[in-house]
Chains A and B, each alone.
Chain A
Amino acid sequence: MRKLSLENLNLAFASIAAKYPLYLPQDNSAGDAEYKKWEQGAKWSDKTNTVKSPKDFFFPQTEDLMAFQVSGKSIDIIDTRKESEDFVVFGVRACDVKSFEVLDNVFLTEPADSYYASRREHGIIVSVACTRPLETCFCKAFSIDPSEPAGDVSCYKTDDSLYLSANTEKGEALLAVISEYTEEADDAAVSKQKESINKIMDRLPLASLTPASFGGGKTKEFFDAPEWKSLSEACLGCGTCTFVCPTCQCYDIKDFKTGSGVIRYRCWDSCMYSEFTKMSAGQPRTSQLERFRQRFMHKLVYYPENNNGLFSCVGCGRCLSRCPIHMNIVKVMKALGGKKDE
């Protein structure tokens, strides 16, 4: 365990930034936190979480995949990828770190997505324990412990210090960069913080939420549930939940005509949108009920079915915070799976 005095935090950030692009949650003019590149004078946000998740670093909202240049009767295929460089994402919460595992299962399973793989390889993740979980947090339901965040380096921020421990070789290398500002320390302060986090976790309003009644093999049980109707009734069909979600991974690939050629790009898609997975044969889900159901069945049934029981929700609470009509996975889980309580 290394200890960094918060007085030296900016010096440490400067050292990291001299070597790698460093991204850090910072407050924006709207009073929310967002990941921004560290520059001299940047302040690490105190907010528990960012509006958009850090999935952008590995699976950006839009990216060019390749270009086609037409000249005469020939077409050149151009690889538009830029050389990747190592980068650091600092201050990632335990839930968001777990979301990378959910995305890895999708993008790194053979045939692996080389665009995603390259960024994962180059990304160095520094996580931080949550000292102020929000009422919307429910990571514990998915067996995530916010006092034990994973990543290449795990951090604990106290009133005066930042405690850091490396979990991987990449993490060791990163800590070496700031070694002049850190010193060896015992884990007394960290143990104390973990204890207090766990006490808060037990008091959270959603502490007793459990996905136990969901999982692989439950398609028949839930697909035709009458509850979907009232749950989806007020859904606007916007993409907020899917775009702030750290684990939503659906995308579309489209061609952009440049005049003399084509740029093929990929962008996030949302199962809430009316054109989602539209094919030449038509639209497989014609009603908002079907589209709404797809999102939650995917997270709670289909994904675990294909990924050894892992749910594709990490309980970050972003959809609870941002949905315009306040419909979310917690309400869905309680309506469909909460019957045992009755």
Chain B
Amino acid sequence: MQKVTAKTLSGKAASLLNAGEVKYVLGWKKGEFDYDITPALFESAEELEKDFVWNDFSCANLSKYLIKYTRSLSGKILVFLKPCDTFSFNQLLTEHRIDRQKVYAVGVPCSGMADEKKIRENADGITAISETEEGYLVHTLYSDAPAFISKEEALLEKCLSCKGWAHIALDEQIEGEVFAPSADRFDQVKALENMTPDERYHFWQNELSRCIRCNACRDVCPACTCEKCVFDNPNSGVENKAAANSFEEKMFHIIRAFHVAGRCTDCGECSRVCPQKIPLHLLNRKFINDIDSFYGEYQAGLDEGSRAPLVDYDTGDLEPSQVFDWRDGQNA
């Protein structure tokens, strides 16, 4: 359950709309059920009143939509950003993908989001989900009493290692307590590194074999902002429509991970939207972990305009041969 209420947010947005400070509000719109929320643009206080929603299913990171909207709309856009979303926003500013002048960024303290898939996995025919302090009461067609799932059990993967410690590049910050995380986000990366090459191969083989090449991971990714993706280009020879073999399938994800390395803020949207629940964020975290080890800790999106280690050079940088020594040292 979110500590800040939807009313606080929609009230703030409505007053800025009415005062003419902003022309549009980018937020979350309620759906058919309690969990199927859609990112949406609101243009009036009435629309906000009717459909705006802010709850544990307002997971979507809205920053990438600002690329499109700051180009197509004239007038200021208020955007609600959770702490983790602000890193993506800031990274997009660093990459000059968003017209900052057109944005009014409002930071929302987040109490942690729920993974709809985790809840639905064990509940058929959900008629309602009520949020409580401790978790969720899931009402279904098949049981008179609601089933309880705790906040921890239902927590979205990305929230396990929340980036609520910083809330950046904002015009305004809504007051409130932020969810405090405890998990080490590199635990799973280390577990993968400790596998034998065969074990690791089988792990990824199993995960990536489910890929249906829908491109949702790429399309939602705030770091994937090429005007024309190489996988969408019929002249590139690597167009996305079909993989010639399973190796090529893996290549898509590996190439994508390489391409966003150093720019990925670890927002977790790729894994959240994957229809096949492939833990794609682990590929990115491997890169983040390596960059941290090679060049010192680095968080993409933390500073606007700073030069990321992979696009910067100084004489103290690791030589390629040292990378191999480092890796062998790790394995020894």
| CA–CA, A327 and B121, complex, Å | 20
Task: Verify if A189 is at the interface (C-beta below 8 Å from B).
Answer: no
**Contact in complex: B234, A326 (CB < 8 Å):** no
Point out the residues of chain B lying under 8 angstroms from A43, CB to CB.
Answer: none
Chain B residues 175-226 with CB under 8 Å of chain A are 206-207, 210, 212-216, 218-220
Which of A62, A236, A242, A278 has the largest number of chain B CB atoms within 10 A? A236
Contacts of B214 in A (CB 8 A): 238-240, 242-243, 270
Q: Whole-angstrom distance between the alpha carbons of A146 and B142 in the complex?
A: 17
Interface assignment of A218: CB less than 8 Å from any CB of chain B: no
A48-B124, A205-B33, A325-B38 given as contacts; is B273 within 8 A of A256 (CB)?
Answer: no
Q: Is the CB of A135 within 8 A of B141?
A: yes
Given A31-B277, A230-B40, A234-B39, also A326-B31 (CB < 8 A): yes
Interface residues of B in 274-290 (CB under 8 A from A): 275-278
Asked whether A268 is an interface residue with its Cβ less than 8 Å from the other chain, the reply is yes
> B319 in the interface, Cβ–Cβ < 8 Å?
no
As a 0/1 sequence over residues 37 to 62 of chain A, the CB contacts with chain B under 8 angstroms (1 = contact) are: 00000000000100110000000011
Q: Which residues of A contact B216 (CB under 8 A)?
A: 236, 238-240, 324
- State in angstroms the CA–CA spacing of A254 and B272 once bound together: 32
Partner of A240, one of B120, B121, B233, B275: B275
- Do B232 and A274 touch (CB < 8 A)? yes
- In the bound assembly, the distance between CA atoms of A327 and B65 in angstroms comes to 16
Is the pair B141, A239 in contact by a Cβ cutoff of 8 Å? no
A132 touches B40 (CB 8 A): no
A132→B125 contact, CB < 8 A: yes
Q: Does A34 contact B (CB under 8 A)?
A: yes
What chain A residues lie within 8 Å of B142 (beta carbons)? Answer: 132
Residue numbers in B under 8 Å from A240 (CB-CB): 212, 214, 216, 273, 275
Compute how far the CA of A28 lies from the CA of B211 in the bound complex, rounded to whole angstroms. Answer: 13
Nearest CB to that of B118 among chain A residues?
Answer: A31
B 12-34 to A, binary, CB cutoff 8 A, 1 in contact else 0: 00000000000000000001110
Which partner residue on chain B sits nearest A34 by CB separation? B210
Residue of A whose beta carbon sits closest to that of B124: A132
**Contacting residues of chain A (131-147) with chain B, CB-CB under 8 angstroms:** 132-135
A203 engages B141 (CB within 8 Å): yes
A61 to B210, CA, bound (A): 13
Q: Which of B65, B124, B276 contacts A51 (CB 8 A)?
A: B276
- Which residue of the partner chain B has the closest CB to A56? B212
Instruction: Mark A241-269 against chain B: 1 for CB-CB distance below 8 A, else 0.
Output: 01110000000101010000000010111
Interface of A is mostly: loop
List, in ascending order, chain A residues with CB within 8 A of B275's CB. 51, 240, 243-244, 322, 324
What's the minimum C-beta distance from A27 to chain B, rounded to whole angstroms? 10
Interface size class of A (residues with CB under 8 A): 35 or more
Candidates B33, B36, B215, B244; contact of A238 at CB < 8 Å: B215
Q: Are A62 and B212 in contact (CB under 8 A)?
A: no
Q: Chain B's interface: helix, strand, loop or mixed, by majority?
A: loop
Q: How far is it, in angstroms, between the C-alpha of A330 and the C-alpha of B31 when the chains are bound? A: 10
In the bound complex, residues from chain A placing their C-beta under 8 Å from that of B32 are 205-206, 320, 330-331, 334
A188 to chain B, nearest CB (A): 23
Q: Which residues of B contact A180 (CB under 8 A)?
A: none
Asked whether any CB of chain B lies closer than 8 Å to the CB of A321, the reply is: yes
* Of listed A200, A204, A234, A244, residue having the most chain B CB within 10 A: A234
List the A side residues contacting B4 at CB < 8 Å: none
A236 touches B241 (CB 8 A): no
- Taking a contact as CB atoms under 8 Å apart, the answer to whether A252 and B241 are in contact is yes
Using known A-B contacts A62-B243, A320-B36, A324-B220, determine if residue A275 contacts B141 with beta carbons closer than 8 Å: no
A273 to chain B, nearest CB (A): 7
Partner of B206, one of A29, A204, A230, A243: A29
Do residues B277 and A30 form an inter-chain contact, with CB atoms below 8 A? Answer: yes
Q: Are A133 and B125 in contact (CB-based, < 8 A)? A: yes
Within 8 A of A (CB), among B229-277: 232-234, 239-244, 272-273, 275-277
| 19 cross-chain CB contacts under 8 A | A30-B277, A51-B210, A61-B213, A61-B242, A132-B142, A133-B124, A135-B126, A204-B125, A230-B41, A234-B40, A238-B214, A240-B214, A242-B214, A267-B242, A269-B241, A273-B215, A273-B240, A275-B239, A324-B272
Instruction: Contacts A132-B125, A244-B212 known; list 17 others, CB within 8 Å.
Output: A32-B276, A51-B276, A61-B213, A133-B124, A135-B125, A233-B40, A234-B40, A236-B273, A238-B218, A243-B213, A244-B275, A273-B232, A322-B275, A324-B219, A324-B273, A326-B37, A330-B32
6 cross-chain pairs, A with B, having the tightest CB-CB distances, nearest first: A267-B242, A324-B273, A326-B36, A236-B219, A322-B275, A30-B277
